Structure 1
Amino acid sequence: MASAKLLPAYLVVGPDEVKRTAAQDRLKARLEASGLAAFNLDERDMTKPQEPDEVIASLSTYPMGADFRLVILSGCEHLPKAMSEALVSYLAHPAPDTVCLIVADSLAKNTRLYKAVAKLGKQAIIDCSAKKRWELPAYVQGMAGRHGIAITSAAAEELVARSGESTRMLDTQLKKLAEVIGGGTIEVGDVERYVARTAEAKPWDFLDAVSARDAARALELYRLLPPRSEVRLFALLLGRVRELIVAKALDARGAARELASTLGVRDWQVKNHVRWSRAFTMDELVGALRSAEDVECALKGSRDSETAFVGWVLSLTK
């Protein structure tokens, strides 16, 4: 039986909505192959009142003309204790021809329900953890294929910057771009033309643009950041300059791999630092530190604080 390859239950857990939906769609598609999905699919919103006996009865119902019955329980992050315990008891001796898909935005690993599902096998936990910001562009490139398009790395970066970190929003924008472009590869210009900025610009994107010596991008992001944030941005950028100096020094010694440990950060936090540092001379970076003293003085109550800060940014990116 095809259902022998399926576990009696899975926990789809994490805030990545696209991945959660994909997990559900895969099982639905497998069920629909039988032609009797309407008789063998039960979807329940567990954020609404549910009787434990009714849910367990559904899980215990035999499939009709199909290899398995699929019961999807969504919104299981805050189940009432009676419901949670009923599911734990059921999972101790689950129905052999039913697949229970438990969907939750989050569920602690030390809960009885999590442990009950985990006991069913290594594949029972489907991790839908949120991607880190730096992982999203590559993830977007993978998502684009599901819409019959490709997207360049730079365009994916711009899409994340404009749409934010919600995978649901990113997927929606990719679908829209696919419809507008009609196939092929999405370029940066396409994203700029068809995707409105809904996400607030992040200071880290600004720092990265300065580090990459992209003056136009740096100024664009600077204008999108909250007003009168020069003091904070100055402190962050000064820290970045120091990091680039360390990166360049280590690179010159052939010890670039030691950058993260030297700075006491994670590897992903400095993954581009060495490449960025190579676009500067050491004199330029040290000179940026020296000129920072004048900028700091201007930031302390001067009417020319914005002018001084922007001038410093331009001197770094020219």
Structure 2
Amino acid sequence: MRGGRTYVLAAALLGAAALLTIAGVGDRSGFPDWQAFVLGVVQGATELLPVSSSGHLVLVPWLGDWTYLEQHDDFNHTFDVALHLGTMLAVGGYFWHDLVAMVRAFVRTLRTRRLETPDERLAWIVLVATIPAGIIGLALEDTITAHLGEPWQIAILLAVFAGLLWLVDRRPATREAHELSLKEGLAVGFAQALALAPGVSRSGITISAGRLFRLDRDAAARLSFLLLVPTVLGAVLLKGLQDVVLGDLPAGWKGPFLVGVLSAWGTGLLAIEWLLGYVRQHTYGLFVVYRLVAAAIIVLLIVTGARAATF
């Protein structure tokens, strides 16, 4: 699914989300559908661009003084599943043929016990790169939730990893993603684990790691997108089981859940299409500047007392 079909589907998804929002389907006191729509759009764009979705999902409510999700953990967990499901559907649909080819290649390697084709190598690179984030995320989830994610911390991480992206993006591009070794793939996975801290950016740090290993800009972005599917799928399944299937769903979850999924899905498709077209002709410098400006604005708001340093 590329080009024109992507725009048509994205428009349909965003249109459906907007109609549900206007109709107030499942609207809930304290967390109306329009906030769910905004956060879905934010998730769809920032999960796939190297600017930190988890950071923006803190910063937007912080700026708007939306406190409902922060004060209602059960609802927040359910809604978080919806947003990540939306971006996973966007990546899964856009790269469907690539993903099917990789799964077939992976199964083939189990039979032949060799890595011969680009798809076979890429399948194993994605597999080993997924492992660190999964293990570290399970082990440190409570610690990360308790100690990271404040606006002042997000500002620091946005700036620091903007600098890293700028440095590695200056390296020459000599390789495709399937040319990485499994050790390099594992290193990309450990880099991805850093994105558990809001402000780092999962796509940003994996793109940075890819550029460090001399992937061209398009290949680094594609590898980052492909890594999202197993990483987010695992998180969605785990959180979905814990918070949706086995948990007690909060009243009024269906409307915001559906609006969040649709808006994140539609915006995610647009973000993928735009980023891949953009980096074929430009550097990642635009995102470096954006991160630095965002960090400066956060600091300015805190220093002037317009917003508190914590949320």
Shorter-chain TM-score category?
under 0.3
What's the TM-score once normalised by structure 1's chain length? 0.20
Higher normalized contact order (CA 8 Å, seq sep 6+, divided by chain length): 2
Structure of larger gyration radius: 1
Larger proportion of helix: 2
What's the TM-score once normalised by structure 2's chain length? 0.20
Larger proportion of strand: 1
